[in-house]
Structure 1
Amino acid sequence: MSSLDALSGRLVLHPGRARPNIERQGLRRAERLVLGRPAASAPALLGTLFTLCGHAHTLTARRAIEAARGAPGTVLPPPAPAEARALQWRTAQEQLRRLLVDAPPAVGLPAATPALLQSCPLWQPALDAELATAALGEWVAEELLAQPLAAWLAAWECDGAAWLADWSAREHTPVARLLQRLRFQGVNLMTPHRPVHLDAADGSMQALCARLAAEAPLQDGAGVPYATGPWCRRHGRNPAHADNAWMLSASRLSDLVRLASPDGPATGAQALACGAARTGERTGLAWTETARGLLVHRIALSDDECVTACRVVSPTDWNFDARGPAALALQSVREPAAVQALVLGFDPCMAWRAATQEEALHA
């Protein structure tokens, strides 16, 4: 196991086996490295340790610390517009990498050409945020959708899977070809789940904070498991429609379309929710919607402003929990292509592999 795997962990999947069929190797506790350190240095360090979505880890840790420093009942306002724009931009970059670089080779398609990626405004410095977002919208419409963003999003919202099947078969853009290939592998692979949502006003935040403080399992093991992803956005499409591996992957494209759209309800910089609140004596909980789903940081401070406790809950912690939705779906999966479709749908933030037949026999 590499030093990176030892720090962040690695998943071993056992297709076709009753739960538990997912094992996690490695410490998966990079956050331990911030214990005892000054609170001021923790956000940058966590953003460095968690290289995927590092920007979101930095933002979430900083807001958890701000909440921990607050008076009882403190609930932080949403991030400043510049921070929200940065989160929007970085999340769009992550979704584009999945759709154009990472996913296609996994299903036998070529990755996007360097020329296509270099033409995207996401990697071209811009002085004006509004002009940059407008340029991104035009690029996504032309290169990925072959139609205006608003028209594509309206059709997706209206008819979901049926319309997407027709669109992906009709168009020849890179993401249309990807979704057409994934459809045959994932549309019949059901992924029942309940969306993870947090709110400082409805008790969900306090309940999660209590579970984290007690080191209790995230999944309660009863009924339909919890999941998080771009299909579970507070401002997104009804998550009940994302009930199979194909629609989970498709939600990454709809998320990119929203992020590339002009500001408005459920689009642009308003598409991603962030929250933070004080949950106890010098303890704060913060959450941020990222490309893979809901990221949570719980941080406690000493009186001299050092970190005394830190717990990071990534989307992978929910989705690939031994009692989570990926494990539930994995029970009925045996074909390697279906396993790949399932993993692409839930998109873990760490390395993974399927167990060999010999390992399965001796497990």
Structure 2
Amino acid sequence: MQEPGGRLGIELRITPEARRCEIHSTRPVTASQVFIGRTPAETARVLPRLYSICGQAQACACTTALEHALGHTAPTEIRADRAAAVASETRREHLWRILIDWPAALDEPADHLTLARVHGLTRTLLAALAPDADLFIPGARPTATDQRVLAETRDALDTLLEARLFGMPPAHWLTRIDTPERLADWAASGVSQAARLLQRVIVEDLAGLGASTVAPLPALDDRALADLLPRLADPGFLTAPTWDGAPRETTPVTRQHHQPLVRALGTGLLARLVALLVEVADPPLLASRPSGALDDGLGVGRAAAARGMLTHLVQLDARGHIADYCILAPTEWNFHPRGALALALEALGPAPEAELRRRAGLLIAALDPCVAFDLTLSTAGPSEVPSCA
């Protein structure tokens, strides 16, 4: 039976002359079309339930797009609370990878207990930000949030991260670990599983593995995004979007490239892992506000989702119901057949097949497709590809 969220098939074909990566997706990129004919209020309530991952980001982008199409601008307080909710979710999503997937790369047990505490604290935060559950409904009005609960919960989460991840308060880690040399010292301390994974990446000279040659997705204004709507009628474009005729990347490493440490590390494996730690220490905030009116009934909404920029585009009909609805998700940008992952896998150096599989798995996990995937390595010739050594 096909999985509701779809699946990625990633095949790396290896010959003595070259490597070729092929990526096939069964993700339901046109699922949002089911909302055609529905009202904005109904759409805002139902759409996030279709997405088990990044539901807060989906809700934020959805509601912002609908408000834009309706000619509404949410109050500053509402936009700030929505951004905080998405940031809390992004932090939780990153911690899932750091506490579950990263230990597996070390052959160590996952830290399920810490992750369970993170989930509990995130639920408390989200409940405090939206006490009446209407935060992501178009036209939402500010409500009295319990600032004491918010402050106490954030403090508890920071204390947990200090003990189980950073070895110091997250804010201190962000300011102190600001050069590759200081990062290497922190990694060598072995203070956490995350530090030990970074140490292994550094020692095994994998820091630059899979460095991206794909340009970042630029900061597009609402008009530029709205102009994409006719092209989004093509499922082929939705599955493999391009900008200016080329694949683009939108990931934590492109989002955090302004950070001196991330910028100094480049765009390889180490930079990607560090970008997640940076966003756990200081989750990205995007208080999405449309830049101005578009055509009647046309709206754009964005959210800083865990895996990159999430964009919703909506067109309302004369009755104010949904006439068209499209979603551009970061997975489609980053796992484009000729995108960041494909080119990174094709650039892997010679190594035994088992090592190639391990390195490919690290790169896929670092880009995080948000759905299950199958990785296949096919070789022309011996089962091992000779190492340069």
- Judge same fold: TM > 0.5, yes or no: yes
Structure 1 unaligned blocks of 5 or more: 260-269
Tell me the distance in 1 between the aligned counterparts of 2:96 and 2:2.
Answer: 23
> SS of the residue aligned with 1:194?
coil
Q: Does 1:271 align with 2:295?
A: no
Counterpart Cα distance in 1 of 2:74 and 2:345: 39
CA contact (8 A) 2:29 2:327 kept: no
Q: 2:251 aligns with which of 229, 234, 237?
A: 229
Paired residues in the alignment total 337
Alignment partner of 1:187 out of 192, 201, 207: 207
How many percent of aligned residue pairs carry the same amino acid? 26
CA distance in 2, matches of 1:185, 1:45: 47
Structure 1 residue 3 displacement after superposition = 3.6
**Residue of structure 2 equivalent to 1:214:** 231
Aligned counterparts of 2:287 and 2:338: Cα–Cα separation in 1: 26
* SS state at 1:143 partner: helix
Residue 31 of structure 1 corresponds to 32
Q: TM-score, normalised by structure 1?
A: 0.81
> Partners of 2:156 and 2:167 in 1: how far apart?
15
1:55 aligns with 2:56: yes
Please give the per-residue CA displacement for 1:272-293, whole angstroms capped at 9, x wherever unaligned: 4534354333111111101111
Q: Could you tell me how far 1:37 is from its partner in structure 2?
A: 2.0
Q: CA deviation at 1:234?
A: 6.9
Counterparts in 2 of 1:24-103, with a 5 A limit?
Answer: 24-70=25-71, 79-103=78-102
Partner Cα distance (2:23, 2:286) in 1: 29
What is the distance in 2 between the residues matched to 1:359 and 1:283?
51
Match of residue 267 from structure 1: none
Q: TM-score, normalised by structure 2?
A: 0.76
Q: What secondary structure sits across from 1:226 in the alignment? A: coil
- Where does 1:79-228 land on structure 2 (aligned, <5 Å)? 79-114=78-113, 116-120=114-118, 122-123=121-122, 125=124, 128-156=149-177, 158-159=178-179, 161-183=180-202, 184=204, 186-189=206-209, 190-200=211-221, 205-215=222-232, 216=237, 218-220=241-243, 225-228=247-250
- One-letter amino acid of the counterpart of residue 167, structure 1: W
Q: Could you say if the C-alpha distance between residues 245 and 76 of structure 1 is closer, same or farther in structure 2, counting changes exceeding 3 Å?
A: farther
- Change over 3 Å in CA distance of 1:107–1:173 after alignment to 2: closer
Change (3 A) 1:351 1:132: same
Q: Name the SS of the counterpart of 2:311 in structure 1.
A: strand
Give SS of 2:310's match: strand
Mean CA deviation greater in 94-103 or 280-289: 94-103
Closer/same/farther in 2, CA of residues 244 and 79 from structure 1, 3 Å limit:
farther
RMSD across aligned C-alpha pairs, in angstroms?
3.1
> 1:336 is matched with which residue?
357
Give the structure 1 partner of residue 369 of structure 2: 348
Partner of 2:143: none
Rounded to whole Å, the distance in 1 between the matches of 2:170 and 2:380 is: 47
Alpha-carbon offset, residue 117 of structure 1: 3.3
Unaligned runs of 5+ in 2: 126-145, 382-389
- Cα deviation, 1:75-114, whole Å, max 9, x if unaligned, reads 9868433323322222221111111023322552210042
Q: Secondary structure at the match of 1:211?
A: coil
Deviations along 1:210-265, one digit per CA (max 9) or x if unpaired, are 23422356225867x52112223379525644410221122111100013xxxxxx
The amino acid that maps onto 2:346 is: Q
1:334-357: CA deviation from partner (whole Å, max 9, x where unpaired): 601111111111111211111252
Q: Answer yes or no: is the 8 Å Cα contact 1:76–1:276 preserved in 2.
A: no
